[in-house]
Amino acid sequence: KLSVQMHHHRAEHWIVVRGTAQVTVDDTVKMVHENESIYIPMGAVHRMENPGKIMLELIEVQTGSYLGEDDIIRIEDDYQRS
């Protein structure tokens, strides 16, 4: 499970290679299956988790003016990262 997060400077495109991802984008929850993808717009509050037993594998493509890790704004984090 990822933290609930957002980014000011980048959008993300997640492509599921194996397994199923439960993706929340703002107030919408969607199941994304193998060979499907989802687009996370810049500024959208989002989270991804693996609801199943099969290991989740995905490809993440980031686009935007700045792709640094310090652009992750964590809103809620089960792992207490800052």
Q: How much of the chain exceeds pLDDT 70, in percent?
A: 96
Structural domain boundaries, residue 50: 4-61
Residue 81 lies in a domain: no
38-63 pLDDT per residue, tens: 999 999 999 999 999 999 999 999 99
Q: Which distant-in-sequence residues (6+ apart) come within 8 Å of 79 by Cβ?
A: 3
Q: What is the pLDDT of residue 76?
A: 87
* CATH code of the domain in which 28 resides: 2.60.120.10
Rounded CA separation 56/17 (Å): 8
Q: What is the number of domains present in the chain? A: 1
Please, what is the average pLDDT of the chain?
94
Residue 82 lies in a domain: no
Angle at 76 between CA 64 and CA 20, to 5 degrees: 70
Mind giving me the DSSP string for 48-69? EE--SSSPPEEEEEEEES---G
Q: What is the pLDDT of residue 77?
A: 77
Residue 25 lies in a domain: yes
Residue 75 lies in a domain: no
21-31 pLDDT per residue, tens: 999 999 999 99
| Nearest one of 39, 51, 47, 52 to 73, comparing CA atoms | 47
